[in-house]
Structure formats: structure tokens, C-alpha cells
Amino acid sequence: MRTLILILTFLLTPGAALARAPADPVAAINVALDGLHDAASKADGPRYFALYTDDAIYIGTDAAERWTLSQFQAYANPYFAKGQGWTYLPRERHVVIAPLPCRCVAWFDELLDSKSYGTSRGTGMMVLTNGVWKVSQYALTFPIPNDLAKHMTDEIKRFEAGEKVH
């Protein structure tokens, strides 16, 4: 009887429910991406980077930021070691499972909110690796409203040309 009570207690606790991956691939991907953002906000480097494939690519907001996983770790780990993460809160997300028999590849896009930058967009690809959805590529961008695009791209061109920008 005591064994039955322990088993039922374990199965009915919220932590146990979170430990089981959802059977629905879109739900599982949402859990993985939410975990990615949570780990980043808590500066939890090991948990954060465990959500990427070994050959993952991270594309940052700067044109020079196209990093392999090890390059991205070299950039981020010093911040994480000081307890400094980054917080992006998902506002909206779309996930598409590739029409492959394995149902093992997906792509996503998400609008994110950040105190530092306001609205940003994350896009990427996920692959099912040993039963776990992992990020294969992630790109973070700052969407520019169309009414501001000409001015902003002119500023970027001036910056790239070495001119003073304002």
C-alpha cells in the first residue's frame, strides 16, 4: 500500500508532469523553446546549451554574428558565469513540423519581448535528437516597422561605411 501511495504521489505532482515530454511534437517544441528562454534568463549555461544540437548555428543581431555552438558558448559563458543572462519573453510562436515520415524536423518563428530591446524575433529549426527536440539553428533579429525601414537601413549603411551615425 505504501508503494502505491508513493507511486501515485510521484505521478500526481506537478514536477513529475513536467518531467515527461509531451507526445505532441509541437507541444514538445514549445516546452523546449520555453526552457531555452528560461535557462537564458537564469544564466544557466549548461541547461541552455544542452538544448542545442552539437552542430548548431546561432545567428545574432549583428551581421558578424554567425556562430557555431562552441563559438556561441565562448561568447555567452563569461556572462552566464557572472550570473548575467538575457530575458526574452515569447509573445507569439508558430511551429511547423516538416512533412517528413520521421516527423523529426521543424521550423519556428516567435515574437519576443525584452526590456532591453523591445520587440525582437527568433526564428530557427529544431531536430528530434534521441527523442528530444533540440535547436539546430536559431536567429535573433530586430523587426523594423516598414515606416522606419528606409531610415534604419540608411543608418546601417552609414555605420558600415565608417560614418558617424545618430
Report DSSP state, residue 42: T
pLDDT tens, residue by residue, 41-87: 999 999 999 999 999 999 999 999 999 999 999 999 999 999 999 99
Helix (H) or strand (E) holding 61: none
- For residue 160, what pLDDT band results from cuts at 50, 70 and 90? very high
Helix (H) or strand (E) holding 52: strand 52-59
CA angle, 52 then 115 then 79, to 5°: 45
pTM (2 d.p.): 0.83
- Res 165: pLDDT: 80
- Res 16: pLDDT: 37
For the range 138-143, what are the long-range contacts, defined as Cβ-Cβ under 8 Å and sequence gap of 24 or more? 138/52, 138/56, 138/57, 138/58, 138/59, 139/58, 139/59, 140/59, 140/60, 140/61, 140/88, 141/61, 142/61, 142/117, 143/111, 143/119
Q: Taking the alpha carbons of 72, 40, 38, 115 in that order, is the dihedral positive or negative?
A: negative
Given a cut of 50, whether residue 20 has pLDDT beyond it is no
Domains and CATH numbers, the chain: 21-160 (3.10.450.50)
Given a cut of 50, whether residue 102 has pLDDT beyond it is yes
